[in-house]
């Protein structure tokens, strides 16, 4: 009987290894197809907390031609929002704030009385787009690098009309997560980078990860992917901040909360595992993070939520900022995780590469 059980186990292991080898080959082939179309970046696929595939395609820096590797750190852009959300959840669990806490209770000069923490988390605040404000010379001196605190100061000063009554609509916006970043600082008495490092990166073992700030540009580090865009006229890649269409990076790069997290494939797998195993927040809080409501029918706290027939729930986000295009997809019911990190704004990252990648694991 024991020999039979051992034989079945060995057969199952062999079949699993063969299947994984096929998936590895298929993902690599798919990534190389997209690399031939312009993709520059890294890809990960894991299942049951085991990394099945990682691949690096292209350069950290197009000028030096230094190759990417599994440990290369990328700017996450809006995929950063899930980190801000978890930080807020931690403060709620410590009873320092609640989801019903109004922003005005934490930031007294905030001109909008009825916006709560949960409104910000679920994109239900109606706040104006800070990027439009900071692109306007009337409101900001472009010779000065802006911060999240500057965003709040501008909102407090201008007192612009909200787009809608808080809690009445869903409208994805970045401003709310910048405000959440400032709330983290005011409630914790730590800077946003300090809080994220102490309460998320270190407990998760994400030791390669960083947070951007006015006095800290991670792209100056050797193994951090530098953001690029493609210049069609010159037929070459250029650093994103040199692109005339991305001039805003020269004065908005250090605004964080909605963006600003830099991390690697391997650290993102650690991030997924600590969420799955409730290391940073409780199971109850995680389920709330991964749930929607009647207003935000496809968004939880810092992540988009979709239900599919093939793999169950999707916990998803993408990001686009400067030279970065990113995607993370966690499938909690099958414990699978897909990541695409690009540092050259590859156009087909969304809806083509990510869809092709998802089809491979079905």
For the chain, give the mean pLDDT.
Answer: 94
Predicted local confidence at residue 144, as pLDDT: 95
Average pLDDT over residues 274-288: 98
Positions marked active-site: 78
Bridge partners of residue 75, in order along the sequence: 262
Band the pLDDT of 184: cuts 50, 70, 90.
Answer: very high
Look at 33-37, 189-193, 265-269, 307-311 and tell me which has the smallest mean pLDDT: 307-311
Band the pLDDT of 214: cuts 50, 70, 90.
Answer: confident
Predicted local confidence at residue 265, as pLDDT: 98
Average pLDDT over residues 52-74: 97
Give the contacts of 103 (CB within 8 A, at least 6 positions apart): 110, 112, 115, 116, 117, 120, 179, 183
Express each pLDDT in 115-170 by its tens digit.
Answer: 999 999 999 999 999 999 999 999 999 999 999 999 999 999 999 999 999 999 99
C-alpha to C-alpha distances, 323 to 64, 70, 147, 231, nearest whole angstrom: 17, 19, 19, 12
**What pTM did the predictor assign?**
0.94
Predicted local confidence at residue 11, as pLDDT: 47
Would you say residue 18 has pLDDT above 90?
A: no
Predicted local confidence at residue 309, as pLDDT: 87
Average pLDDT over residues 290-295: 98
Predicted local confidence at residue 351, as pLDDT: 85
Distance, CA of 139 to CA of 154 (rounded, Å): 8
Residue among 104, 95, 148, 154 at smallest CA distance from 125 = 104
Find the helix or strand (DSSP H, E) in which 74 lies.
strand 74-75
């Amino acid at each position: 009987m024991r020999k039979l059980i051992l034989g079945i186990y060995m057969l199952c292991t062999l079949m699993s290894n063969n299947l994984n080898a096929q998936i590895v080959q298929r993902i690599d082939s798919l990534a190389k197809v997209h690399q031939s179309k312009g993709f520059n970046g890294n890809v990960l696929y894991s299942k049951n907390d085991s990394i099945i595939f990682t691949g690096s395609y292209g350069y950290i820096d197009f000028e030096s031609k230094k190759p990417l590797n599994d440990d290369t750190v990328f700017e996450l852009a809006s995929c950063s929002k899930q980190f801000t959300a978890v930080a807020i959840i931690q403060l709620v669990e410590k009873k320092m704030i609640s989801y019903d806490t109004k922003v005005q209770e934490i930031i007294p000069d905030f001109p909008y009385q009825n916006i709560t923490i949960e409104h910000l988390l679920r994109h239900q605040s109606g706040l104006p787009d800070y990027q439009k404000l900071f692109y306007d010379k009337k409101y900001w001196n472009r010779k000065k690098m802006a911060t999240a605190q500057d965003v709040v100061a501008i909102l407090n000063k201008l007192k612009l009309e909200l787009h809608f009554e808080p809690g009445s609509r869903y409208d994805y916006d970045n401003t709310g997560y910048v405000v959440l970043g400032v709330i983290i600082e005011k409630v914790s008495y730590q800077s946003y980078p300090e809080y994220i490092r102490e309460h998320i990166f270190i407990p998760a073992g994400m030791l390669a990860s960083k947070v951007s700030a006015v006095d800290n540009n991670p792209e100056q580090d050797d193994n951090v992917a530098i953001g690029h865009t493609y210049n069609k006229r010159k037929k070459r890649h250029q650093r994103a901040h040199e692109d005339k269409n991305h001039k805003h990076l020269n004065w908005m790069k250090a605004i964080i909360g909605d963006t600003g997290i830099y991390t690697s494939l391997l650290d993102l797998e650690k991030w997924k595992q600590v969420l799955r195993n409730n290391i940073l927040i409780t199971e109850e809080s995680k389920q709330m993070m991964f749930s929607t409501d009647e207003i935000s029918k496809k968004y939880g706290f810092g992540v988009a939520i979709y239900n599919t027939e093939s793999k169950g729930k999707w916990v998803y986000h993408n990001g686009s900022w400067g030279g970065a295009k990113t995607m993370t997809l966690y499938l909690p019911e099958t414990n699978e995780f897909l990541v695409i990190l690009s540092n050259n704004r590859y156009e087909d990252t969304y809806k083509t590469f990510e869809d092709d990648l998802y089809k491979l694991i079905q």
